[in-house]
Structure 1
Amino acid sequence: MRRRLVLGRRKGLSFTRRRKRIETSAIQAGLFWAGECILAFAIGCVLVFYFMSRLTCVGQAMEPSINSGNSVLVNRFSYAMTTPKRGDVIVFKPNGNKNAHYYMRRVIGVPGDKIQVKDGFVYVNGDLYETGIGNEQMDYAGLAEEELKVGSDEYFVLGDNRNVSEDSRSADIGNVKKSDIYGKAWFVAYPWDNFGFVTSVK
């Protein structure tokens, strides 16, 4: 009888130890997971701080994609090894004017493209260019009234809200030189109702 009691106690102690080991393992796993999350967050903050700049969108030219007053994260190194693609939203100062505010506009024409605004719509290399964004008929053709060719290391840009946008149609801006591009508009950080990645289109 005594032997059975001793065995029962040993079994009880063994179960308690196993339970404590399981609880300890669960705590360790939780701490490890929390540590990984903190590390990932810290790395993310460093990357954002190093690679990104935070700029405020000025004006309504990029609505509805980016609204006036939106705080936008700009990747300053997007084009260090690559070139802007049609549909990207780039950030630049027109003609390298250091006193101007940063402009955010969508790339429509890349080097070698032929651009024309005809009957209120933009044509790229003779084909109607439609993106699902900014396809309203334009009142103003400006420099693109006659077909123009985008030069080497230049980009033809338009705002998504084309009838209020000052862009490559205007002589004050014209084609944007790659050397004047600050970076790529990447993410709308504020306000929350427009929070999310800036959409590139084809």
Structure 2
Amino acid sequence: MSENKANTNETENNTVENTEAEVKTDNKDESSDYIAFSNPEKNNAKSNKFVAAKADGGASNFYDWIKSILFALVIVIFCLNFFFRLVDVKGTSMVETLQNGDKLVVTNFNYTPKTNDIVVISHGKEYTEPIVKRVIATAGQTLKLDYENDRILVDGVVLDEPYLDVSTFCNVEADYEIPEVIPDGMIFVMGDNRGVSMDSRDSRIGLISVDNVIGKAQLVVYPFSEFKYLY
């Protein structure tokens, strides 16, 4: 009887011990799970990754912005070299059509000068500054400056010049012999303000090589009050 009671007590003790062990194990597991979830080192690692990602994103946006600006500059430079450019008018040789200080849009892509075009020229025969003039005659055309009757004949036809507010020559004659037929690759140009214009009538300018033509003036874009198309 006492032996059976002793065995029962031992079984109960073992059960209690096993239960306490399970409780301790459960507590350890719960404690361990809690610590793993709130591990400050892991939280810091996550935070650092977030900050790094955010920094990388900011740098990427900055570089994208810089690339966009550089691309736009390349496009502008390409257009200015091959399609159009801005040119400032200096002097009064093209009054009333153009005024001193006007800003022009000049096109130059695949351009061939034609009669009546207003062109920008890099330099004359001896004159080294850029000039703005009107094309009067081109290669192969016959040209006669009729001073007596104050008119110009191109290919035997009197040139119509509605843009003039002065006489055709304003008593300024050519100081050299101008060919009757304009040579290949050359043009004859004059300013609209004939009394003050130094143009192809002057030996310092002479006939202009088409290679020295920068382009054709299309628009006056400044001052804004004078904005206009030139033709």
Does 2:152 correspond to 1:122? yes
1:133-144 counterparts in 2 under 5 A?
A: 133-134=163-164, 136-138=167-169, 139-143=171-175
CA distance in 2, matches of 1:175, 1:90: 14
Q: Give the Å deviation of 1:48.
A: 5.7
Q: Alignment RMSD, CA only?
A: 2.5
Which amino acid is the alignment partner of residue 163 of structure 1?
G
**2:118–2:133: 8 Å Cα contact kept in structure 1?**
yes
Unaligned runs of 5+ in 1: 1-41
Which amino acid is the alignment partner of residue 90 of structure 1?
V
Change in 2 beyond 3 A, CA 1:143/1:123: farther
1:172 to 191, 204, 215: 204
Instruction: Look at both structures and tell me which one has the larger radius of gyration over its CA atoms.
Output: 2
Q: Give the Å deviation of 1:159.
A: 0.8
Which amino acid is the alignment partner of residue 129 of structure 1?
L
SS in 1 for 2:211: helix
Which amino acid is the alignment partner of residue 137 of structure 1?
T
Does 2:71 correspond to 1:71? no
**Identity over aligned residues, as a percent?**
27
Q: Provide the residue aligned with 2:139 in structure 1.
A: 111
Change in 2 beyond 3 A, CA 1:188/1:169: same
**1:189–1:196: 8 Å Cα contact kept in structure 2?**
yes
TM-score normalized by the length of structure 2: 0.59
Q: Provide the residue aligned with 1:10 in structure 2.
A: none
1:91 to 106, 120, 128: 120
Which amino acid is the alignment partner of residue 142 of structure 1?
A
Q: What per-residue deviation string (whole Å, max 9, x for no partner) do you get for residues 86-145 of structure 1?
A: 111111123477x83321111110111121221232121232211311262311121577
CA distance in 1, matches of 2:212, 2:80: 22
Q: Give the Å deviation of 1:54.
A: 1.2
Give the structure, 1 or 2, with the largest relative contact order (CA under 8 Å, sep 6 or more): 1
Which amino acid is the alignment partner of residue 114 of structure 1?
T
Change in 2 beyond 3 A, CA 1:147/1:101: closer
TM-score normalized by the length of structure 1: 0.66
- Extract structure 1 runs of 4+ deviating beyond 4 A: 45-50, 143-147
Name the structure where helix makes up a greater proportion of residues.
Answer: 2
CA distance in 2, matches of 1:192, 1:62: 19
Q: Does 159-168 or 144-153 show the bigger shift?
A: 144-153
Name the structure where strand makes up a greater proportion of residues.
Answer: 1
